[in-house]
Homo-oligomer: A and B are copies of this chain.
Amino acid sequence: MASVFGNNIKISIFGESHGSAIGVNIDGLPPGIQLDMDNIRYEMARRAPGKGETTTARSEKDEFEILSGYFNDRTTGTPLCAIIRNKDKRSSDYDVMKDLMRPSHADYTGYIKYQGYNDYRGGGHFSGRLTAPVVFAGAIAKEILKKDGILIGSHIKSIGHIDDLGFDYVNINEEAIKMLNQSEFPVLDASKEKPMKDLILKAKEDKDSVGGVIETAVINLNAGVGSPYFDTLDGHLAKLLFSVPGVKGVEFGSGFEISKMKGSEANDEMYVKDGKVMTYTNNNGGILGGISSGMAIIFRTAIKPTSSIGKTQRTIDINKSVDAYITIEGRHDPCIVQRAVPVVDAVAALGVLDLLMEKKEYGN
């Protein structure tokens, strides 16, 4: 049940961090779509590890192989399955994890759920590595949406206490989104990149980690996408976002801040401009009653500091059922926010495309 998502596009994720391969099966893609493989590789490279001092040293090129559903350079409309072989595995780093549960990881909950049979190496199926096939699928969704003019982009809204500027909710142009898509460390205020990176490097030096917030915009999405009562656009996106490792909060538009506003401040008053319905503000983040309003979809995702840290921590030995200490030696990111950006873009694209594919008209 768990690893399949979607009403109209079904995504099935599989794999473990240190197994032979990870991958995704995508069912329900429209036929005849030509994919820009360079662009998919680019999106995957944004997520891939080993790119600089601020990320893990594990080196995975994340080369994908499409096994099905793509013929003569076009999607066939039948399931498109792609796999990524795991290569730079140093499983011995993780031997200790067989018994010692890493705090704030899924080691313990996975052990309980799967009765001790889960692949514990590198987090197994819970590893951030599983986001690689998610980004692959999302890159395809992004491409399909782009053909329809719909663009998705995110920036690092904060790292620890250092804040970037926020989006202008009512006025985000395409160039801004494209620039974010092309940035290795996307921020709106370029002057924030260095202090943010310094904070990450300081955490690394301290054998510690930091978290942050990602802010995302989806622009040019028409009104009418999403459905009450349960398949709301916000709920659909939230469900996908909480599947991304490390996410602890999701808010749309003014989010938690809106709870402090008066109705007269929060309400997005409406007007008609060149025949198009607009709102003067966009505190609702482009979603009303679970349906897109035609304004930009805006949301923020809170990412916790990397759970793997070099400092010694108190934990348990699951085998002996006693208290213990753990010092995690494996390679890991001092901050996963940067690498989470393309993942958040990917799930946003998948969620939007899935609901957009809902048929609006009947017909023979």
Contacts and interface: CB of A to CB of B under 8 A. Distances in A.
Residue from A78, A234, A314, A353 whose CB has the most chain B CB atoms within 10 Å: A78
Contacts of A32: 114-117
A13 interface: yes
Interface in A250-297: 250-256, 258-272, 275, 277, 279-280, 283-285, 287-294
Interface stretch (A23-31, A45-53, A166-174, A175-183): A23-31
Q: What copy number does this chain have within its complex?
A: 4
Contact of A252 (B108, B228, B239, B248): B248
A79 B13 contact: yes
Contacts of A66: 20
Interface stretch (A36-44, A56-64, A185-193, A209-217): A209-217
Nearest to A100: B270
A272 B247 CA distance: 26
Contact of A3 (B228, B238, B283, B285): B228
A302 B285 CA distance: 14
A203 B115 CA distance: 53
A75 interface: yes
B211 A259 contact: yes
Nearest to A261: B305
A220 to B, nearest CB: 7
A95 to B, nearest CB: 13
A12 interface: yes
A69 interface: yes
Contacts of A349: none
A291 B118 CA distance: 14
Nearest to A322: B272
Nearest to A311: B264
A71 B289 contact: no
A194 interface: no
A5 interface: yes
Interface string A203-243: 10010111111000000111110111111101110111111
A364 B149 CA distance: 8
Given A4-B12, A113-B291, A230-B3, A284 B119 contact: no
A28 B119 CA distance: 15
A109 B256 contact: no
User: Which of the listed residues A2, A13, A15 has the most CB atoms from chain B within 10 Å of its own CB?
Assistant: A2
30 contacts: A2-B230, A2-B231, A3-B10, A3-B27, A12-B27, A14-B25, A14-B69, A15-B67, A15-B81, A71-B117, A75-B117, A76-B114, A76-B119, A76-B125, A78-B119, A105-B289, A106-B290, A108-B270, A126-B289, A211-B261, A232-B242, A235-B243, A249-B255, A249-B258, A258-B302, A258-B304, A259-B302, A267-B307, A269-B313, A269-B315
A308 B266 CA distance: 11
Given A14-B27, A23-B67, 6 more contacts: A3-B228, A3-B229, A32-B116, A78-B114, A148-B363, A238-B250
B280 A314 contact: yes
A298 B62 CA distance: 36
A304 B257 CA distance: 9
Given A1-B28, A68-B19, A264 B208 contact: yes
A31 B118 contact: yes
B271 A323 contact: yes
A260 B160 contact: yes
